Amino acid sequence: MARKPRPPAPGRSAGADLQSILRVDHAGEYGAVRIYQGQIDVLAARRAAARPLAAVRRMAEGEKEHLARFDEILPRYGVRPTLLRPLWWAAGYALGAGTALLGTEAAMACTAAVEEVIDAHYGRQLDRLEAGEVRDVIAQFREDEISHRAEALAQGAERAPFYNAVRATIAAGCRLAIALSERL
Ligand SMILES: [Fe+2]
Ligand SMILES: [Fe+2]
């Protein structure tokens, strides 16, 4: 059975497993904010339809709240952010802007693909974590990501050109980003 991480005593660092969980999740929410920012900039500039743009803005606000929560939690648990933040800053934005350039449905396909991976990722973490603050936060965020995926599907993600290829490519990229951010 997986080792059970515990919150650290005041002034102490969290155990290695909890550190890696917090680091990668913080990185992921940071990347999510950047993906949505790229999408919003392109969709707004291209005068995309109001409904999908409003949906993207709504989801972006959710990601900002997620990021703010991890911004607050990490220092309390003595966890440093990933060293790869500059990479996720650029890659997240490029992914969001790039998919939005292909159209609103491609942007939604990106969201559906990312959130599918994050749902599974958070699910695996919930299996490893014992009851407590971090587990509660992740459980709540996972519900939010599931609803983001549902929203993206409702907004036509599956009608995007080459949906399956886009989905598989983005999922592979997300898994790589997760593996890197857990370690670095
Ligand atoms: Fe999120
Ligand atoms: Fe999300």
Domain annotation covers residue 81: yes
**DSSP 8-state code for residue 184:** -
Residue 24 covered by a domain: yes
Q: 154 is in which domain, residue-wise?
A: 16-183
Q: Is residue 10 part of a domain?
A: no
Q: How far apart are CA 58 and CA 45, in angstroms?
A: 17
What pLDDT, on the 0 to 100 scale, is given for residue 13? Answer: 59
The number of distinct structural domains making up the chain is 1
- Express each pLDDT in 103-159 by its tens digit: 999 999 999 999 999 999 999 999 999 899 999 999 999 999 999 999 999 999 999
CATH number at residue 75: 1.20.1260
Asked whether residue 166 is domain-assigned, the answer is: yes
User: What is the CA angle 19-25-29, rounded to 5?
Assistant: 145
Residue 1 inside a domain? The answer is: no
Ligand lying closest to the C-alpha of residue 55 = 2
Q: Is residue 8 part of a domain?
A: no
Ligand positioned closest to the Cα atom of 67: 1
Please check whether residue 160 lies inside any domain of the structure: yes
* Residue-wise pLDDT tens digits, 76-104: 999 999 999 999 999 999 999 999 999 99
14 or 37: which carries more pLDDT confidence? 37
Q: How far is the CA of 71 from the centre of ligand 2 (A)?
A: 16
Number of the ligand closest to the Cα of 58: 2
Centre of ligand 1 from the C-alpha of residue 26, in Å: 9
Does some domain include residue 22?
A: yes
Q: Is the pLDDT of residue 11 over 80?
A: no
